[in-house]
Amino acid sequence: MSETESRIYESVFSIDRLLRKIVLFAYGYYLLFLFKDNSIEFYIHERYQALTLVSSLILIFAALTYSSYVEKRGHEHRKKAPAVRRLICTMLPALLLAPVICGFITPPKALGFSEKRMSTRFSFSGGAAAADPEALKQRGSGDITLAFPPGAVEDYEERTYTPLNVMELNYLFSAGGGAYIGDRVAVQGFVYRDDTTQYDVFTLVRYMIPCCVVHAYPVTVKVKSPETESLETDQWVVVYGAVAEAENAAAETAGDDTGCIVSAERIELKDQPQNPYINRWNTSKPFRF
């Protein structure tokens, strides 16, 4: 081939590059869709959401900018692989669409009770920090909205509850739960009926997502209530109660070593909340996690 001939380029449509464009666009659009659909929280921690949003825009931009045409020299048209191999190579990018298609056609479900995951439940055991007696007087990031604001006296029994999430409560118990005996809390989670605890105690569970759902681990507190037997595992509830010392630690808090429980005053059955996980930054003192 002469020098002049090798310099002659022509634009050739490439199905492979078109498929790449489609895959890039599909991934970008799917990530955007997760935000629009509010289902991004089913998958990742809040700290990755900004990066995910930016990535989705970059992917869409790249898809629009990436050319479906490739410039080839004239002689390159003659180098053709066998048809079957070409077909497989061409269709491979299409296989990469599998998670996107899967994600679109099946709405995400929240993780529920799993014996395997329960074996890795998290605790700040050992005392995460010195107990702060004012902690329960501050509003935590408890993700339930009470019918009355904390501090107000509007409850039908003239009681006020501080909304905390399971992680915050676990933190307080581990940091010295004795400082909070008698303080009232409202906490939300799903029920886990554990055979190792006594009949009137159940475990209240929320999953913490430190990065993505694959690494979700349960955070738990024990709740004592005469209504326990009517509650099914996986039922979402809001427990209104007071922090109490476990009377019989071995029987009441098996698996936890904080020595504290929530003694329930009432339990409301709830539907699964929109965000079933603990996956947001919590920067309010003393709940830094």
The CA-based angle 278-246-239, given to 5 degrees, is 40
Contacts of 114 (CB under 8 A, 6+ apart): none
Asked if 37 and 97 count as a contact pair (C-beta separation under 8 A), the reply is no
Q: How far is the CB of 144 from another protein (least distance, A)?
A: 23
Cβ burial of 15 (10 Å; 0-12, 13-18, 19+) is middle
In the bound state with another protein, the residue whose beta carbon lies nearer, of 119 and 284, is 119
- From candidates 71, 232, 247, 268, binder to another protein by CB under 8 A: 71
Q: How far is the CB of 176 from another protein (least distance, A)?
A: 13
- From candidates 109, 147, 151, 156, binder to another protein by CB under 8 A: 109
Query: Distance (Å, rounded) from C-alpha 33 to C-alpha 282?
Result: 26
**Which range of residues in 121-129, 132-140, 155-163, 244-252 is near another protein by CB under 8 A?**
121-129
**Which range of residues in 139-147, 157-165, 214-222, 223-231 is near another protein by CB under 8 A?**
214-222
Q: How far is the CB of 56 from another protein (least distance, A)?
A: 8
Q: Does 87 bind another protein (CB under 8 A)?
A: no
Q: Does 273 bind another protein (CB under 8 A)?
A: no
- From candidates 24, 26, 135, 185, binder to another protein by CB under 8 A: 24
Q: Does 102 bind another protein (CB under 8 A)?
A: yes
In the bound state with another protein, the residue whose beta carbon lies nearer, of 91 and 181, is 91
Q: Does 286 bind another protein (CB under 8 A)?
A: no
Q: Which residues bind another protein (CB under 8 A)?
A: 9, 14, 16-17, 20, 23-24, 27, 31, 34, 40, 42-45, 48, 51-52, 54-55, 58-59, 62, 65-66, 70-73, 76, 89, 92-93, 96, 98-99, 102-103, 106, 108-112, 114-116, 119-129, 208, 210-215, 217, 288-289
